[in-house]
Amino acid sequence: MWSSPEHRTERCASCDTEREFTQPPCEEGHEVCPEWSCVICGSALFLAMAAA
């Protein structure tokens, strides 16, 4: 049920509810960037990626 790999729904600590998150352009060259940004308030969320 993935709608898009570039968006996901996570709980936003700032909004205190579920929000859609999107990935800002990565400036650090991560192959899989852990940084996501709330589309409502812009709060950053770092998701721990499963170690490859």
Q: Which residues bind Zn ion (CB under 5 A)?
A: 12, 14-15, 19, 26, 28, 30, 33, 38, 40-41, 43
Nearer to Zn ion, 33 or 47 (CB): 33
CA distance 17 to 11: 5
Nearer to Zn ion, 6 or 28 (CB): 28
Nearer to Zn ion, 9 or 14 (CB): 14
User: Following DSSP, what letter does each residue of the chain receive, concatenated?
Assistant: --S-TTEEEEEETTTTEEEEEEPPPPSS--SS--EEEETTT--EEEPPPPP-
Query: Measured from the CB of residue 15, what is the shortest distance to Zn ion in angstroms?
Result: 3
